[in-house]
Amino acid sequence: MKKLTYIFIILLTASCKNALHNNFHAEKIVLTDTVATEELPEYKADTLSKISNPFLLNKLLCYWEHFFVIYHYGGLEITMKLYDYKSKKLLLKYEYQPKYEEDYDYKSVAYFDSINKRHFDDFNFDGYKDFTIYEYGSMPMTSATVIMLFNNEAKTFEHSELSAPVIEEIDSVNKILTTHEWDMENAYYKKYHFNKNGKINFIENYTYPNDTAIVHYKKIINDKIVEQRTETIKE
């Protein structure tokens, strides 16, 4: 009688294990099917192109073509292209995602007038307007004022070493451009001294360590340090 009881217990245990296994397997299949059939959210966007009237820039007749991607949930992407009006040569291309959409009101009739006032200045004092645009980072320290210098020989705008978070001063009389950047340890100032042709004569670097009264100075000509010193800041 005891043997029959043991056999019955063993068969009952095996049956329960099989039932649990089958139930777990079925639930797993159902879960997998549910995930596979979920739809990803759809982000809709509109597109728009705007072409400016011809305008004179750096002794060239030019025109803008801007292509916009306008997202329904908020957000804007702009592809800016600047062309020579006569030859149709591409002078500049820049892809930009503005942080503040209201700064780029594509519906405004004065849109391109605003673009030209905002994005052109002579940074190397050669008499030609250069292109600039502010790229927002996660914080001011990681942001950048991008500067693309106009190459009159190639008739194109080219990225330059002058880009920095802040353009501190444009001294057109003495032909000096001062930029400013910083990190967690130091503040950095650079003074670019240009000749009349827009080429850099020399650079002065000033490094101010935080919470100190000293400054480290370097003068650089053709990528070589020709002078350096450390001074105490006078109050």
Give the per-residue pLDDT at 73. 86
Place of tokens 């005891």: 2
Longest dimension (CA), the chain: 114
pLDDT at 38: 60
Rounded to whole angstroms, the Cα distance separating 183 from 37 reads 48
Contact between residue 203 and residue 193 where contact means Cβ atoms under 8 Å apart: yes
The domain ranges of the chain are: 43-106
**How far is 81 from 92, CA to CA, in rounded Å?**
6
157 and 144 in contact (C-beta within 8 Å)?
Answer: no
Residue-level pLDDT, tens digit, the chain, 235 residues? 444 444 444 444 444 444 444 443 434 444 444 445 566 566 688 999 999 999 999 999 999 999 999 998 888 999 999 999 999 999 999 999 999 999 999 999 999 999 999 999 999 999 999 999 999 998 888 999 999 999 999 999 999 999 999 999 999 999 999 999 999 999 999 999 999 999 999 999 999 999 889 999 999 999 999 999 999 987 6
Query: Residue 82: what are its φ and ψ, rounded to 5°?
Result: -110, 130
Nearest to 128 by CA among 176, 36, 228, 59: 59
